[in-house]
Structures are given as structure tokens and as C-alpha cells.
Amino acid sequence: GNSVTQMEGPVTLSEEAFLTINCTYTATGYPSLFWYVQYPGEGLQLLLKATKADDKGSNKGFEATYRKETTSFHLEKGSVQVSDSAVYFCALSDVGSSGSARQLTFGSGTQLTVLP
Amino acid sequence: ETGVTQSPTHLIKTRGQQVTLRCSSQSGHNTVSWYQQALGQGPQFIFQYYREEENGRGNFPPRFSGLQFPNYSSELNVNALELDDSALYLCASSPDRGTNSPLHFGNGTRLTVT
């Protein structure tokens, strides 16, 4: 079945540091890939997505490139801010075992804390 | 544009009881998915409803059931609650069933089973 493996956290960085959160996936089909962010007490918000190999998703200074050859979708940001502190989830979307619903399979999440 | 709203925000139940969680979809969205997020883990797919019909189901037992109404709002029902059902339950709506349709999540219902 499909699975997503994320870099274990928590990750603590100083403001303006470079961020990388690793994500690799296993899928039988051709999934779309996503990064979601969850702020304390809130639901998940879509951060960025990529729908096919070599696509680069970007938003709010975050980037991730869909690498089919390494089955990876690592999240990067050149200069993090305190407001980026949150939990980040890598996810893939594909047809599940039920055969019809397009479902998201999530990684376990990476807690990021950015210190001023 | 109204986003996805869930109620209640918090709930405490006793093992063996039944619970109903509610979700109002974002305007114009006809697909609703439910996810269970245990503490410290990523969300897990429970099931999806499309135009009032169950459209797919994850690896959850039959005591997890749902409904979608003509206005596309939805309910998640859990019977015979177990301690392991304690989690954040997230509802997400989307404009259609396609892979690339963005999911819009609500803030969730935190269920505690004692």
C-alpha cells in the first residue's frame, strides 16, 4: 500500500536559518504530493503541491520538488521566521484500496520551532 | 466564503457510548472526507462521501459510519466507543473527487474517551 515517511522531529531552528524537512513516499500509482501545515489548535492548511514528476510546488517561501527517481518530496525554505513554527505533514493523494476515493496518506508530521 | 466548520470542538465520552460529530462543508463543495488524527501522528483516512453516497473507506471498522446530507454537510458516527478512539477528528471538503482537488480542512473535533 501507499506510505509516507517523514524526517522525525522536533526540529528547532533560529530565525533566518535554512530549513529542510525530508519526505519519501511509496506508492503503486502516480500520486500527487502535498505539504500541509498545522498551527496549534487548528486544522490542516495546504502549503504546496506537485502533481507530476519534476514539478516544483512553492508558496510563502517554501518549496518542494517531486522527485520520482528518489521517491522524495523534501520541503525547503531559505530563511525561516518565528511565524513558521508549526507541524508540517507530507502527504500523497492516490486511489486507496477501496478503489474509488482519492484519499490522502500522511506522514507522521514534523514539529518545527523557530526561535527569535 | 465560509470555510469548513466542525462541531463540537471538544467532547468527552465514556467507553461503550456512541458519538456524532458534525461538519459543514465549504460552499460549493460536494465531497466530504473524514480523518482521524491520533496524538502525535498524521491523519488517517476514515471515509469519503460524494453526493450523499459513501465513495470509499479506509481501514476502519463498521462501527465508524457516516452520512452526507443534500446540503453536503456531513456526520461521523462512532458506536461502542473504545479508549483508542480518542483523537482529533478532521473533516475536509473539496469541490469534487479528483486527485488534485484541494482539501479544505476544518479545525477538528477533539474526542476523549474515558
| For residue B72, pLDDT beyond 60 | yes
The model's pLDDT over A58-102, given as tens digits with 9 standing for 90+, comes to 999 999 999 999 999 999 999 999 999 999 999 998 765 555 567
| For residue B77, pLDDT beyond 70 | yes
Predicted confidence at residue B51, as pLDDT, reads: 87
The model's pLDDT over A19-33, given as tens digits with 9 standing for 90+, comes to 999 999 999 878 889
In three state form, how does the secondary structure of B26-57 look?
Answer: CCCCCEEEEEEECCCCCCEEEEEEECCEEEEE
Instruction: Name which of A39-53, B7-21, B63-77 the model is least confident about.
Output: A39-53
Residue B67 — very low, low, confident or very high, per pLDDT cuts 50/70/90? very high
Instruction: Name which of A10-14, B1-5, B7-11 the model is least confident about.
Output: B1-5
Closest by Cα among B4, B3, B35, B33 to B111 = B35
Q: Which residues of B touch A46 (CB under 8 A)?
A: 102-103
Q: Which residue of A has its CA nearest to B34?
A: A103
CA distance A17 to chain B (A): 25
- The b/e string for A92-107 (b: 16+ C-beta within 10 A; e otherwise) is bbbbbebeebbbbbbb
Mean pLDDT, range A3-29, rounded to an integer: 93
CA distance A81 to chain B (A): 23
Predicted confidence at residue B89, as pLDDT, reads: 97
Predicted confidence at residue A101, as pLDDT, reads: 62
| For residue B13, pLDDT beyond 90 | yes
- Number of Cβ pairs closer than 8 Å across A and B? 80
CB contact under 8 A, B106 and A43: yes
Instruction: Name which of A25-39, A48-62, B88-102 the model is least confident about.
Output: B88-102
CB contact under 8 A, B105 and A103: no
| For residue B99, pLDDT beyond 70 | no
CB contact under 8 A, B100 and A93: yes
Q: Which residues of A touch B23 (CB under 8 A)?
A: none
If contacts are CB pairs under 8 Å, which of residues 60-89 in chain B contact chain A?
A: none
CA distance B12 to chain A (A): 17
